[in-house]
Amino acid sequence: MKENLDLITIRTLDTNKVIDILDQYGCCVINNYLNKKELSNLKFEFDRMFLEAKKKNNTFVINKHPTNKMGSYIICKKNQLQESYKTIKNIFTSKFMQKVAHAYFNCDHLLNDEIFLTQELPSKTEILPWHFDRRHALKFYINLVDVDETHGAFAYDIGSHREGHFRANYYMLTGTKVGEIPNDIPKKELHRPTSITTKAGALVIFDTDGFHKEGLLAEGERKIIRAHSHSKPLIMYKAKFLDAHWWLQTPFNAMKCLKNFVNRKVPADRLTRSKVRK
């Protein structure tokens, strides 16, 4: 896996290089993205937001982590980040991230419209299994602590983003609701799984159509700030009445009815054994 990680790791803020790596592999790692002061300030603001969220009538709300039993997270919007959270806002609205998102989407998009602050604690199971996201995004991801394979390291099946893209589009074009796309991927369908072991302050940028997972956190604590950028129009889990995705889910979508006649004739479980996570 080390040689795979080297393929996607750079040390400079070269937008063209980042886009080349994302295009080929779906994931790019920039070591030492934050300097010591930025990292310290980011940690301070992370802890402050969780402390403030515990107070009543606060802007921020702590949510229970869906898969890490003792973990929790906060979702915030850029317009909620006032002066006391200027480091988070400045980092995730930086000109560099703007350039990367603009070049990658090459269309109208929302830059980091959702920012997640996630706090995870030890568990006997992996935080998230191998999957691709049902809603496509380009994510900017910063660990606030060092991570390795026993400390919750993120992992990415490099080069799988095109396959995930076609899988998701196939299901949506044949009438599957976004929330019902089978997106959990068994290990035998991976090709180049790569553990993203980094020091605190590294930046990971990845296309969520690629297969990825959150690893096992055997001890300690993992703190992450992750921002999601989306192309427009934003796809929602519940289709709006009469929009394109609503029509695709109705009997007026011929592909919904005819998909079994136009598929290549092999057993469905030979194509994929991906599942819908309950």
The mean per-residue pLDDT over the stretch 29-40 comes to 97
Q: Which two tokens stand for residue 150?
A: 């026993």
CA distance 185 to 168: 13
CA–CA distances in Å: residue 27 to residues 34, 48, 95, 97, 207? 18, 30, 19, 14, 6
Please, is 126 exposed, middle or buried when counting C-beta atoms within 10 Å of its C-beta (0-12, 13-18, 19+)? middle
User: 146 in the Ramachandran plot: left (φ > 0), alpha (ψ -120 to 50) or beta?
Assistant: beta
Picking from 62, 136, 67, the residue whose alpha carbon sits closest to that of residue 101 is 136
pTM beyond cutoff 0.85 = yes
From the CB of residue 24, how many other CB atoms can be counted at a distance below 10 Å? 14
Say yes or no to pLDDT of 237 above 80. Answer: no
Mean pLDDT of the chain: 90
The mean per-residue pLDDT over the stretch 187-207 comes to 96
Three-class secondary structure of residue 255 per DSSP: helix
CA distance 33 to 36: 10
Quote the pLDDT of residue 3: 80
Quote the pLDDT of residue 220: 87
pLDDT in tens, 139-152: 999 999 999 888 88
pLDDT in tens, 203-229: 999 999 999 999 889 888 999 999 999
Picking from 243, 245, 93, 90, the residue whose alpha carbon sits closest to that of residue 176 is 245
Quote the pLDDT of residue 267: 54
Residue found under tokens 């005819």 = 258
List b or e across 71-110, with b for residues whose CB sees 16 or more CB atoms inside 10 angstroms: bbbbebebeebeeebebbbebbeeebbeebbeebbeeebb
Q: Which two tokens stand for residue 129?
A: 């299994």
Quote the pLDDT of residue 149: 86
Helix (H) or strand (E) holding 65, with range, is none
Domains (ranges, CATH) in the chain? 2-262 (2.60.120.620)
Residue found under tokens 């057993």 = 267
In the chain, the amino acid numbered 205 is: I
Three-class secondary structure of residue 42 per DSSP: helix
What is the 8-class DSSP label of residue 239?
P
From the CB of residue 232, how many other CB atoms can be counted at a distance below 10 Å? 10
Quote the pLDDT of residue 265: 57
| Torsion sign, CA atoms 245, 249, 251, 254 | positive
Cα distance between the two ends of the chain: 30
Say yes or no to pLDDT of 17 above 70. Answer: yes
Helix (H) or strand (E) holding 108, with range, is none
